[in-house]
Amino acid sequence: MILYGGTRSPFVRRIDIWLRLQDRNFEANRMSPMGETYAALKRINPVGRIPALSIDEGENLIETTAIIDYLEESAPADRRLIPVSGADRRHCLQRIAIANSTSEKAVALLYERNRRPEEFHWHEWHDRLEDQIAGGLAYLETIVPKSGWMGGDRPDGSDVAAVCAYDFLAITNKSLLTDCPKLAALSARANELEAFRSSYPE
């Protein structure tokens, strides 16, 4: 398999970690949707977005949720990162939804505040994005354990998503991480593992 996209993206990094935690063999192609590689990326994903995953069956999968659905469906039971059914599955998916939404708002803020020329800044929108990020972080902070993992004895998909959101903010808008010590500790624990450490964003 080939994973396309750089791990500065929390969505690409999430797939990268997922593949490693499932002991998958894959090649990382750090193609960017910016600059010279955009045209090549559009041949893999017609809308030119990352992540994309070329799988052994010859298909190119796009969008994080669809890629993870394939990885979960095709993994051995003891390598799945989302419970198969019941309340445990529902709760895990809800934790993932909050973490993923926080990442989405963090990426939006990066583009709006860090990359848009200052004369075009819309400060009310920045405030809204920051409020949404704060809401996601606050919720995650209430459910992250002081030690161990939300997945129990090993990281599950919600641990992966939460760490990706936290670490992305740590390198793009660290000032927003003012009151989440349990998330900080989760990130530190996770990044001691090779699956997380090897993909820490530049």
What confidence score (pLDDT) does residue 37 get? 83
- Model pTM score: 0.93
DSSP for residue 64: H
**Residue bearing tokens 């890629």:** 67
- Chain segment 110-157, per-residue pLDDT in tens: 988 877 888 887 889 899 999 999 999 999 999 999 999 999 999 999
Task: Count CA within 13 A, CB hemisphere, residue 134.
Answer: 10
Q: How far is CA 78 from CA 72, 84, 156, 193, in A?
A: 10, 11, 11, 18
What confidence score (pLDDT) does residue 51 get? 95
**Mean pLDDT per 10-residue run, the chain (202 residues)?**
92 97 95 82 90 94 96 97 96 98 95 82 90 97 96 96 98 94 98 96 80
Whose CA is closest to 11, among 59, 45, 56?
45
Give dist(CA 98, CA 95) in Å, integer.
5
Cα 157 to the chain's mean position, in Å?
A: 10
What sections of the chain are H helices per DSSP? 10-21, 38-44, 64-74, 86-109, 123-143, 157-172, 181-190, 194-197
Say whether 22 sits in a helix, a strand or coil: coil
Query: Measured at the alpha carbon of residue 199, what is the angle toward residues 20 and 26, in degrees to the nearest 5?
Result: 40
Whose CA is closest to 151, among 162, 142, 141?
162
